[in-house]
Structure 1
Amino acid sequence: MREGFAMPFNKFAGAFALAAVVVAATPAMADDPNDPTMRSAAAKARDRAIIKRLNEEQLRYVQQRDAGYAKGWAAYRSAPRENARRQAAYEREMARWRHAVNMCESGRHEYCAR
């Protein structure tokens, strides 16, 4: 039974390794100065236009993302008292919870319900 399992696995592993070697050995045509499809001025201009459009789209995305981040940070900074109050309330609640955990673990089961 063990041999029956190992044999197909070895064939699969060998086929996978062969496919990986073939793919890795295939030359990539991106940025290839000898690429036959990029010999004409029109093809190069199209390629430049596509790259420019993609770069501009990415720039717009990053600017919108960063504007959202800036808005969030501005809101956070504009309310330091509120943030301090929330942080203090959170820390008080965590202290209560830690106390309840310690009491529960020490045998005070009325604290375990929390």
Structure 2
Amino acid sequence: MKKAFLLGMVLATVALPGVALADDPNDPAMRSSAARARDREAIRQLNLREAARVRERDARYAQGWADTRAYGAGSRGGYDDDGGANASYARSRAQYERELASWRHAVAACQAGNYDYCAR
């Protein structure tokens, strides 16, 4: 643990000077207005490319959600009205409730002294 912390501190110390110089207002390369204009244009182009990429991604997401909604509305998710997921869930839930009631009855009978129910 101590070695990992020490290694992290060393890496942070090594990386810090590079981060500190990333936006240096006194950078000699940025003293001319032409250099600042080139830098500004490069950043603008990067931002435009990223915005286009995000718009394309969001359009794909929107299309995927529209397809999902259309599929769910048109076919009820692949289940018919006379059965399907809801009926299957209802059957499973009813079976669970019956088994739970039987178990509770056995516990109550065991606790009441009917030891035949204790082995279940």
Q: Which SS does the other structure have where 1:49 is aligned?
A: helix
Deviation at 1:44, TM superposition (A): 0.6
Match of 1:39 in 2: 31
Q: Distance in 2 between matches of 1:31 and 1:38?
A: 10
Unaligned regions of 5+ residues in structure 1, if any?
1-9, 96-114
What is the CA distance between 1:94 and its match in structure 2?
8.5
Number of aligned residue pairs: give it. 97
> TM-score normalised to the size of structure 2?
0.52
**Distance (Å, rounded) in 1 between the aligned partners of 2:45 and 2:35:** 15
Q: Secondary structure at the match of 1:32?
A: coil
CA contact (8 A) 1:37 1:43 kept: yes
Q: What residue in structure 2 maps to residue 55 of structure 1?
A: 47
Q: Residue 38 of structure 1 contacts residue 44 of structure 1 at CA under 8 Å; is this kept in 2? A: yes
In the TM superposition, what is the alpha-carbon distance from 1:38 to its structure 2 partner? 1.0
1:69 aligns to what? 61
> Whose relative contact order is higher, 1 or 2, with alpha carbons under 8 Å and at least 6 apart?
1
Name the TM-score, length of structure 1 as normaliser. 0.55
User: What runs of 5+ residues in structure 2 fail to find an aligned partner?
Assistant: 91-120
TM-fit CA distance, 1:83 = 3.9
